[in-house]
Homo-oligomer: A and B are copies of this chain.
Amino acid sequence: MAQNEISVATIQRLPIYLDYLKSQDKDTARISATTIALALGFGEVQVRKDLASVSSSGKPKIGYHIRELIKQIEEVLGYNNVNNAIIIGAGKLGCALLGYEGFSHSGLNILAAFDADPSKTGKTESGKPIYSMAELSDFCKKTKVHIGIITVPAMHAQSACDALIEAGILAVWNFAPAHLDIPEHIIIKNENMASSLAVLSSNLAKKLNEEA
Contacts and interface: CB of A to CB of B under 8 A. Distances in A.
Mostly, the A contact residues are helix
B179 A41 contact: yes
So how many copies of this chain end up in the complex? Answer: 2
Contact of A173 (B78, B194, B200): B200
A135 interface: no
A102 B155 CA distance: 12
A187 B200 contact: yes
A196 B191 contact: yes
A117 to B, nearest CB: 16
* Interface bracket on A: 35 or more
A171 interface: yes
A62 interface: no
B93 A197 contact: no
Interface stretch (A9-17, A26-34, A159-167): A9-17
Interface in A135-177: 146-147, 153-154, 170-171, 173, 177
Contacts of A99: 92
Query: Which 4 A-B pairs give the minimum distances between C-beta atoms?
Result: A78-B205, A96-B96, A12-B195, A15-B194
Interface in A171-212: 171, 173, 177-179, 181, 187, 189, 191-208
